[in-house]
Amino acid sequence: MKKQVQGILLSISIIIMISIQACAQATPEAISYGHDQCMHCKMTISDARFGSSLQTKKGRTCKFDDVQCMLDYVRASHVTKEEVAAFYLPDYSGQHKLFQAEEMHLLKSDSLRSPMRGNMAAFKDVAEWEKAQDALHGEKIYWEDFWK
Amino acid sequence: MKCPWLKHLSLSLFLLLFVQPALATTYYVGAKHATTRISDALIKASDGDTIIVSPGTYKEGNIAIRKSIVLLGEGYPTIDGMKTYEPLSIYAANVTIKGFKISRSGQSSMEDFAALKVYNTRQVVIEDNILDDNFFGIYLQNARNCIVRGNRLQAYGRIEQRLGNGIHAWKCDSISISNNKIVGHRDGIYLEFVTHTQVVDNQSLNNLRYGLHFMFSHDNAYLRNAFTKNGAGVAVMYTKRVLMEDNIFNENWGDAAYGLLLKDITDSHITHNHFTNNTTAIYMEGGIRINMHRNNFQGNGWAIRIMASSTDNFFTQNNFVANTFDFATNGRLQLNTLSNNYWDKYEGYDLNKDAIGDVPYRPISLYSMVVEKNPTAMLLFRSFMVMLLDRTERMIPTLTPEDLKDDKPALKPFPL
């Protein structure tokens, strides 16, 4: 009997620990391409290479079709920078998964032709970033510079 | 007496006999002819020549046209891009492409491959072609005075994949786009930095994003087009002086779908259009001095959603029939004018029999304001309480904008 209770307690504590872990590690809400609407320009988000999002500290997710729209949205103070828990940018190469903006390497090039002409791409992998810079004749830019 | 000038004249006439007019040559391409490849005929041809291509499939990689020629297809010969190449690229002025089937262009995340791309030139005519399963369809880049007429475009992309637009124009001027049918692309017709252009009599259906989409494109006219069942309708953004007339916007359903999305549009005319069965017929944000006259709004969820950033717009003689909400807004202050529209929800009277209602009509219901702030409240719509609230608000407006009303509501719908 005592063993059984111990077992139950153990499993409960494991579940709690896992769920706490899950909460702490914020995962970005997936963008539903072709259905979700950009918070800023109201266009339907359809290009996975540029779809970005931010999550506020209260847990609300705002989605955008272009990094430029996300920047403009924050600059227009619809959400202030202080209220944002995390900014997410898509990896231009590979499966276009969303990663935290701080982990990404950014490239600006007019030949990118993003939906709202922000023309910025983000790369998780440094090698891909370098490769794209040569291919697109882009200019390396840095996420921190947007907030100075 | 001799005339010295007569001698000169006869001499010049004599010399004229030796002047050969530059005759245009016609080249034939096909299995039965000496030339079997279009590219070979292009090498032989010079400016002003015509190349006639027999039926068959031509797999030549990229065909680049750098001479002013007329390229005619007989019985729609197929130019196949084999999912790798751009089938046709046009670099020369005065080129005509007519009667081809162009299929399977290359696809790339770095480059915008098209079935047919026009690069930095003018006076190109693209007529009566069938474009099937391409990334972009017809792509005009930095072109002037071109005609895109009577083409049929079909693509089969799904939203998860990357897909190009049907007719795509970028930095162009004086283009005529008419009688085309575009199905299954990302945007049916996409214009960016395009001026003095006419988009007439086109059909844009079942495209994944917008039927028509234009940004930063001033002084253009869109007449008699049909935009049906596209992912999100039609989007008009950051544009001045637009004329939209006699178009049909219908069956654009979805949370982010609009019959017509207007964002930052100034000094434009929207007249004689039909908006039928859309979630939102017109969504307007930052619209200034837009004249909406004699449009028909029927069976939409919202006929017009106008954000507080829109001012000085005129809505006259439009018909609002069988819409769930005729008008919605998010602000209390209204600087737009509604006059002499027909509203099927109007319950007033006309004692002096002048066909104009004697009491004003307020098209904004209380509940449309609530839903604007809190979309999930839609669940309670059509409940008894909501109806009661709406009635009370109609009599004593407290939350809805006081100025937003039609002082001369028409009692009969306008013939359109």
- The tens digit of pLDDT for each residue in B241-287 reads 999 999 999 999 887 889 999 999 999 999 999 999 999 999 999 99
Looking at residue B255, its pLDDT comes to: 79
Q: What residues have CB less than 8 Å from B319, skipping those under 6 apart?
A: B295, B296, B297, B298, B341, B342, B413, B414, B416
Write out pLDDT tens, residues A86-101: 999 999 988 889 999 9
Ramachandran region, residue A8 (left: φ > 0; alpha: ψ -120 to 50; beta: rest): alpha
Cross-chain CB nearest to B232 (options A44, A47, A48) = A44
Q: Report d(CA B296, CA B239) in Å as an integer.
A: 23
Q: What angle do CA B121, B127, B130 make, to 5 degrees?
A: 115
Q: Look up residue A30 and give its DSSP letter.
A: P
Q: Test A35 with B255 for CB contact under 8 angstroms.
A: yes
Q: Test A41 with B263 for CB contact under 8 angstroms.
A: yes
Cross-chain CB nearest to A34 (options B112, B231, B237) = B231
Are the C-beta atoms of residues B52 and B70 closer than 8 Å to each other? no
Q: Test B186 with A41 for CB contact under 8 angstroms.
A: no
Q: Test B235 with A37 for CB contact under 8 angstroms.
A: no
pLDDT-derived band at B397, boundaries 50, 70, 90: confident
A59 and B CB contact within 8 Å: no
Most A CBs within 10 A among B109, B117, B141, hence the mutation to make, goes to B109
Amino acid making up residue B224: R
Looking at residue A20, its pLDDT comes to: 53
Q: Test B110 with A48 for CB contact under 8 angstroms.
A: no
* CA-closest candidate to residue B356, choices B310, B403, B406, B393: B406
Amino acid making up residue B344: D
Q: Which residues of A touch B112 (CB under 8 A)?
A: 113
Most B CBs within 10 A among A44, A93, A116, hence the mutation to make, goes to A44
Whether B3 has a pLDDT exceeding 70, the answer reads: no
Handedness of CA B367, B372, B377, B381 (dihedral sign): positive
Q: Report d(CA B227, CA B206) in Å as an integer.
A: 9
Q: Test A42 with B110 for CB contact under 8 angstroms.
A: no
- Cβ count within 10 A of residue B26: 12
Q: Test B162 with A36 for CB contact under 8 angstroms.
A: no
Whether B9 has a pLDDT exceeding 70, the answer reads: no
pLDDT-derived band at B177, boundaries 50, 70, 90: very high
Q: What angle do CA B113, A37, B207 make, to 5 degrees?
A: 45
Q: Test A34 with B208 for CB contact under 8 angstroms.
A: yes
Handedness of CA A63, A139, B191, B161 (dihedral sign): negative
Q: Name the helix (H) or strand (E) containing B389.
A: helix B384-395
Mean pLDDT of chain B: 90
Q: Report d(CA B369, CA B348) in Å as an integer.
A: 22
Looking at residue B237, its pLDDT comes to: 92
pLDDT-derived band at B14, boundaries 50, 70, 90: low
Q: Report d(CA B96, CA B25) in Å as an integer.
A: 15
For helices B384-395 and B366-373, give the axis angle rounded to 10 degrees: 120
Residue B103 dihedral angles phi and psi, to the nearest 5°: -135, 160
Could you tell me which residues of chain B have a Cβ less than 8 Å from any Cβ in chain A? 109-110, 112, 159-160, 162, 186, 208-210, 231-232, 235, 237, 254-257, 261, 263, 283, 285
- Exposed/middle/buried for residue B1 (C-beta within 10 Å: 0-12, 13-18, 19+): exposed
* CA-closest candidate to residue A122, choices A144, A136, A143, A137: A143
Q: Report d(CA B148, CA B176) in Å as an integer.
A: 6
Question: Which pairs with CB-CB distance under 8 Å and at least 24 residues apart come from B190-194?
Answer: B190/B165, B190/B166, B190/B214, B191/B215, B191/B217, B191/B220, B192/B216, B192/B217, B193/B217, B194/B169, B194/B170, B194/B220
**Token pair listed for A7:** 């077992």
Write out pLDDT tens, residues A119-141: 999 999 999 899 888 888 888 89
Whether A9 has a pLDDT exceeding 80, the answer reads: no
Q: Which residues pair with B53 in a beta bridge?
A: B29, B73
Q: Report d(CA A37, CA A29) in Å as an integer.
A: 14
**Token pair listed for B43:** 């090498």
Are the C-beta atoms of residues B322 and B297 closer than 8 Å to each other? no
Looking at residue B404, its pLDDT comes to: 86
Q: What is the DSSP string of A61-112?
A: EEEESSHHHHHHHHHTTSS-GGGEEEEEEEBSSTT--EEEGGG-EEEE-GGG
pLDDT-derived band at B171, boundaries 50, 70, 90: very high
Q: Look up residue A4 and give its DSSP letter.
A: H
Least confident of A25-29, B65-69, B85-89, B240-244: A25-29
Whether B158 has a pLDDT exceeding 80, the answer reads: no
Q: How far from B294 is each of B90, B315, B318, B324, CA to CA, in Å?
A: 42, 8, 4, 20
Cross-chain CB nearest to A35 (options B112, B237, B256) = B256
Residue B14 dihedral angles phi and psi, to the nearest 5°: -60, -45
Q: Which residues of A touch B255 (CB under 8 A)?
A: 35, 37
Whether A7 has a pLDDT exceeding 80, the answer reads: no
Whether B4 has a pLDDT exceeding 80, the answer reads: no
- Cβ count within 10 A of residue B256: 21
User: Could you tell me which chain A residue has the CA closest to the CA of B210?
Assistant: A44
Q: Report d(CA B234, CA B36) in Å as an integer.
A: 44
Mean pLDDT of chain A: 85
Residue B215 dihedral angles phi and psi, to the nearest 5°: -135, 140
Whether B289 has a pLDDT exceeding 50, the answer reads: yes
- Exposed/middle/buried for residue A65 (C-beta within 10 Å: 0-12, 13-18, 19+): buried
Looking at residue A24, its pLDDT comes to: 44
Most A CBs within 10 A among B135, B141, B158, B159, hence the mutation to make, goes to B159
Q: Which residues of B touch A48 (CB under 8 A)?
A: 160, 162
- Cβ count within 10 A of residue B22: 9
Q: Which residues of A touch B256 (CB under 8 A)?
A: 35-37, 42, 44
Cross-chain CB nearest to B110 (options A35, A37, A136) = A136
Whether B323 has a pLDDT exceeding 60, the answer reads: yes
Write out pLDDT tens, residues B345-381: 998 899 999 999 999 998 888 888 888 888 888 888 8
Q: Where are the beta strands (DSSP E) in B294-389?
A: 296-298, 302-306, 314-316, 319-321, 325-329, 337-339, 342-343
